[in-house]
A and B are shown apart, each in its own frame.
Chain A
């Protein structure tokens, strides 16, 4: 399985590069990893991908590649910290920013292109830890004798757009690093199968979470969750977070996908959004996917999930068929108006998936890549 996974990750990055037309994204990511670990030759800034709850788990703390820090699409995304937001997982909307003085003396300051950006020295906005800006320039950054200082960036205004933070020497105003933050418009929701719990490092047999981790590293805001947090009516912590994002963070595009019971929960979330969520600010479900979707009325539901998710603009579907003696009789099935057309793909009709069972169908590189490539092409970051 790990062979499939490695192949998948490599293919996915190639796919991203192709779709974005930038070329060499894998090389950039690799270079970023190295640069984040090695001493910088000159002072600079390193921004990170979003937090979740009290830290980064179930994702790894991931630096945005240096070469992408000014990219309005692939650079650091940031959640609008909207008024009224109820932060279901705690205050986790600030983005970590490491300032490295790289042995250069003198004082450093930050400048910003918009007052929408606030900067704190604490991740949870402790009282008295916000950096004051005067004319959009801070006072000297306090390094406390260290080479690096960790700051936390907040998007305080209305959702939408981007803004830049720049590091410069206070006296000479010599510019060093710059980072462009763009406000997230999209949210990805990834739901595993029964008893698949998101973990770090990602389990190579959890194909859904492999896709989710890949998307996180590529700059999307990803909510990766156990499907138990979605009840059969769609209610629960995942739905609450989606509502919070739409209502208070300016998110207007969603992607939801899941494997097995996670497929059933994908349907349940879309159904709830189409009913209870009808009064929410404008939003669209740009992408959904089932991999061997099983209805999720309960933990013992073994029915096929073959209903198309309500309101989905694009639905991918992969499934296999078996018997109790192969895989406890757990199957997905064809879903009307799904991709590949017309009803999705029975992977057992392909050479690579001919021996599929329910318990491996989510791990095939071809399935993982299909989700990655088609989601990337449709969902705004």
Chain B
């Protein structure tokens, strides 16, 4: 046993390994990603990236049925994708223990919504545990395997950014000896056709009753007895804020948030003058506590219903003023993230912006193409939606004069769910242009492998899927592979696809590796004396390019420039030049 500084994600991975989990299946997604990356480093485990979360959970259910303890991890929106197998896995139950991490993102640091995974647990009748820090993340995960087998149901672990990405010292333990269970054929348990699902539904209801009994005694639900005027029910990271914000309040910290311990909540409520429920991002806990027949008090002042909570926000809800402080000046400019200097796909957005296309976007770095100066994205909803939404746009715009409709999707996102969307378009003879920005990696979440780059999580030998071959096999006639660093090639390909083949479906594969993959630099570019302050280069939104606030003269930051040469192709005055190879050290940074 020893103490290690661990993030919540690392602790969940450790807990799974200590419990004897040997199989890990996931799709990356912030804030969950490092959990599977960390699990993959333990001895004796097999871990893989699947194409999407639904596939991951199905692989997980299969591996559990065959007798292994399994870990699946995903971000909250991944649970939407995985919901189909999840709901029915709550009928089949498990053989080897099965734990699924749902990492929520209240405050939306890196997500398109801030949904609360508790609702899934309740809807699917899958028990859910809420660790409040990394130590609990390890302990709860480890115990969840035993509980999963005891109650014959997958267990969910819910974390948030502040649990997943907060490091704290964690006491690690020993790995338990877990012997793989044998598989025995049992269609009544595993074949969920109506004849078998009906009795399993009854099994599920009996299980809920057993869980409700167990949860009353479960040590994960803890009362911190302090004053008797105010009682607070909370869970997860919010507990840490409550403890600091309200030193006089007694707290019922729920480690199991579905099902709720009815007796425990009721008796806690009776022990205090007023009971409050403090939670972030949704009203799940409040409505569950109310549903127990417990009276929940209104806050004296407002508590935000959106975003993350903090001790300060909780204090404000109880009428405490913010301490004296210096206000941030009103003229501080925003600093949004941007596509990297040398990002191979910057020109695709520049050219889409130029032709004023209706661009249906997708989830990944390239969502940043939305922001000015590129301003080249009309929509972004969920993984794969670019392709299916462009089909929808085309359907509704058919017969009307309209701007070209172009879907933009990354290679990993295409593998996740864009492919099935594209099949729909092909099958229904849809039109439009689909741009696959193939940067050879899953860039936004930290450069994970995917089917189209052939890199696997544990660096096992694999095969790189032939993207063009797949597209051609679907019967798409207009497929081109384009060098995205070449402005004329990008412009020409988009022109052909959106004008000449406007009534047909075209797929353009813009293939060039993410700049962060190999970190290769060529000699940098600089602005010579011919700059006429036209500002065109600054419309590329490259972090290395700036223009003088007064003169408008462009400037390239030599340290940031990686020598991609995209900007030079846009300069009408030949004012952007590359330094000769001999005058600076090229090579790897």
Q: Say whether A and B bind each other.
A: no
What is A's interface to B at a CB cutoff of 8 Å?
none
What is B's interface to A at a CB cutoff of 8 Å?
none
